[in-house]
Amino acid sequence: MVTDLIYRELHSPHSGIFLNVKEYLHRSKSKFQQIEVFENETFGKVLILDGVVMLSERDEHYYHEMLVHPALTLLDEGMKVLIIGGGDGGTLRQVLKHNPSSVTIVEIDEDVINVSRKYFPLLASSFDDKRVKTIIGDGVEFVKKKKESGFDAVIVDSTDPVGPAEDLFSPEFYKAITEIISENGVFVTQSESPLFDKKFIVNLIKQLKTLFNNVENYIGPVPLYPAGIWSYTFASNKYTLSMHQKREIPGTRFYHNRMSFTTSKEILDEISGC
Amino acid sequence: MVTDLIYRELHSPHSGIFLNVKEYLHRSKSKFQQIEVFENETFGKVLILDGVVMLSERDEHYYHEMLVHPALTLLDEGMKVLIIGGGDGGTLRQVLKHNPSSVTIVEIDEDVINVSRKYFPLLASSFDDKRVKTIIGDGVEFVKKKKESGFDAVIVDSTDPVGPAEDLFSPEFYKAITEIISENGVFVTQSESPLFDKKFIVNLIKQLKTLFNNVENYIGPVPLYPAGIWSYTFASNKYTLSMHQKREIPGTRFYHNRMSFTTSKEILDEISGC
């Protein structure tokens, strides 16, 4: 009988987090990755992909609100949105708060959606909204083949840039994004930990600056992610984040419309002059 | 022979962090608390008081910069500052960047200063600055007895509100602060984790609102603190945080002068109408 099950995740070679496992609920191997779900008494149900925490019931709002709202509040309601990744439905749920006319979501791993429907229905029930078109497939291929275009917003909600998500951080992919996004569109991607992945972030910003007039990195807390602080990178030809509209987004827990967005001095210093 | 020493700290009853111990450097018991120092390959030297991480070489700047700079950039250089706590010298180091005319620091535990002088000289060498007056004693008593007054800024850099630091979060202490701070002075205190201590924070804000015209809670990352996100509470009769001056602070790594300061929607909702 298991009496003391502990989930442990390295965030650097010499540090990490642990979570007591109250109940181990699910484990399966999809075509792309290992999917696990367990219950922790503090954070609720936790979704793990390939041994990395994706979200918990208690902390998912920090990540999903900060990925979606800074960019989408720049646009008027009725926008056309593309989400790459995000099979748990958390990003989709926040996007729907902006009354989009349509949302296309391209998730490579159908099993993530199905597991999330079972264990995270608050998030994954968003797939049932009639404005949502769900495509099971490769996001990079979807974008490169221009299967759809004219998106007002493109949001990349991916796992780390190793394994299935690696090509979502390539120059070719970003170039292809510029061809399916509308002239005044906004692009945003999760962009890893400012403490542990500073070089990656600086490189990403430099790449995007060759393609968009305005590129900004900003940070927010995500308690179960490495160092508890996460970064997002925004790009647009027309907008900057400070132009965000003051409309209220219903039911947010962290984001609010008097917030402003920026990154650390260290990152600003690295990209100054680019 | 110890070959696999791991430091583990609970941040809630069911979750926490772990740090591999490369070298265990110091352990002593002062009159007030247990003091430990070890080396971790990712975070450098780590200071532990009563089994709780106070700082690491790699992440201390997040906490000390965000505790000090938002409040002190409101004032002109040459200000008179009081620090309660902060025996490691990290807060003092940031305060000195503002060219204060004098800094009084009241630390209850001399052993913390001495251990920090040995293991964290970058921070604790600040005690040698000739503008600094170091008092070993009880900060609450110092304030209540009005041993000095007319401070332009009072900064509370304390441990958690249990044990030695408990009285630093009492209504009587805050009331006494108002009697030693100048009319246009600024007050700031560390105020725990917005994820785990929301009730504490809301109560603190309500208390301070009975004493100061303007009270604001704001957050910032601290990787090794619970949930990786920490809060600070600011109070002043004259100033609000948005009035901060745009002067540059030399050598910051996280804070910069285009940053703005706010807290989560959940906390704003709780205090609205107070």
Tell me: the pLDDT tens digits for A69-118?
999 999 999 999 999 999 999 999 999 999 999 999 999 999 999 999 99
The total number of residues written for chain B in this structure: 274
Q: Print burial letters for A209-246: b (CB count within 10 Å at least 16), e (below 16).
A: eeebebbbbbbbbbbbbbbbbbbbbbbbbebebeebee
pLDDT at residue A244 is higher than 90: no
Q: In the numeric block, which tokens belong to residue A139?
A: 């996001």
Q: What is the pLDDT of residue B107?
A: 97
Q: Is the CB of A272 inside 8 Å of chain B's CB atoms?
A: no
pTM over 0.90: yes
Find the CB nearest B223 among A19, A59, A195.
A195
Nearest in space to A67 (alpha carbons), one of A43, A37, A88, A45: A88
- Looking at CA atoms only, how far is residue B237 from chain A in angstroms? 22
Cβ–Cβ below 8 Å for A42 and B268: no
Helix or strand or coil: residue A34? strand
ipTM exceeding the 0.90 mark = yes
Query: Is B269 annotated in the active site?
Result: no
Quickly state the pLDDT bin for A273 (edges 50, 70, 90).
confident
Q: In the numeric block, which tokens belong to residue B144?
A: 């209540």
Helix, strand, coil shares, percent, chain B, to 5: 30, 30, 35
Question: Residue A198: its chain B contacts at CB < 8 A?
Answer: none
Calpha distance B233→A29 (Å, rounded) = 46
Cβ–Cβ below 8 Å for B252 and A229: no
Q: Is the CB of B12 inside 8 Å of chain A's CB atoms?
A: yes
Residues 6+ apart with CB under 8 A from A114: none
Is the CB of residue B173 less than 8 Å from the CB of residue B140?
yes
Calpha distance B233→B251 (Å, rounded) = 24
Cβ–Cβ below 8 Å for A255 and B262: no
Question: Residue B15: its chain A contacts at CB < 8 A?
Answer: 17-20, 40, 42-43
Angle at B212 between CA B206 and CA B214, to 5 degrees: 85
Q: Quick one: average pLDDT of A123-135? A: 98
Q: Is the CB of A67 inside 8 Å of chain B's CB atoms?
A: no
Q: Quick one: average pLDDT of B142-169? A: 92
Calpha distance A35→A46 (Å, rounded) = 11
Cβ–Cβ below 8 Å for B252 and A265: yes
Q: Print burial letters for B145-154: b (CB count within 10 Å at least 16), e (below 16).
A: eeebeebbbb
Q: What is the pLDDT of residue A170?
A: 92
pLDDT tens-digit series, residues B198-242? 999 999 999 999 999 999 999 999 999 999 999 999 999 999 999
**Looking up tokens 């992440």, which residue turns up?**
B59
Q: Which of A109, A152, A157, A197 is labelled catalytic? A: A157
**Looking up tokens 């419309």, which residue turns up?**
A257
**Looking up tokens 């004098």, which residue turns up?**
B102
Residue of B nearest to A257 (CA): B265
pLDDT at residue B3 is higher than 70: no
Residue B31 buriedness (CB in 10 A; 0-12 / 13-18 / 19+): exposed
Question: Residue B254: its chain A contacts at CB < 8 A?
Answer: 264-266
**Looking up tokens 């608390």, which residue turns up?**
B33
Q: Which of A1-5, B115-119, B191-195 has the lowest mean pLDDT?
A: A1-5
Calpha distance B175→A268 (Å, rounded) = 40
Q: Quick one: average pLDDT of A22-27? A: 96
Q: Is the CB of B223 inside 8 Å of chain A's CB atoms?
A: yes
- Looking at CA atoms only, how far is residue A3 from chain B in angstroms? 14
Q: What is the pLDDT of residue B48?
A: 98
CA B91, B96, B100, B105 torsion-angle sign: positive
Find the CB nearest B12 among A42, A227, A255.
A42
Q: Is the CB of A246 inside 8 Å of chain B's CB atoms?
A: no
Q: In the numeric block, which tokens belong to residue B107?
A: 């630390």
Q: What is the pLDDT of residue B162?
A: 86
Q: Measuring CA to CA, how many Å separate A48 from each of A87, B36, B231?
A: 13, 34, 28
Q: Quick one: average pLDDT of A51-66? A: 97
Question: Residue A16: its chain B contacts at CB < 8 A?
Answer: 17-18
Q: Measuring CA to CA, how many Å separate A17 from each of A229, B12, B59?
A: 14, 12, 16
Question: Residue B22: its chain A contacts at CB < 8 A?
Answer: 14
Q: Mean pLDDT for chain A?
A: 95
Find the CB nearest B260 among A43, A260, A266.
A260
Question: Residue A19: its chain B contacts at CB < 8 A?
Answer: 14-15
Q: Which of A19, A61, A195, A261 is the best mutation test for B, with the most CBs of B within 10 A?
A: A195
Is the CB of residue A213 less than 8 Å from the CB of residue A247?
no
Q: Side chain identity at B71, as an amino acid letter?
A: A
Question: Residue A57: its chain B contacts at CB < 8 A?
Answer: none
Q: In the numeric block, which tokens belong to residue B251?
A: 């050598």
Q: Which of B5, B14, B257, B268 is the best mutation test for A, with the most CBs of A within 10 A?
A: B14
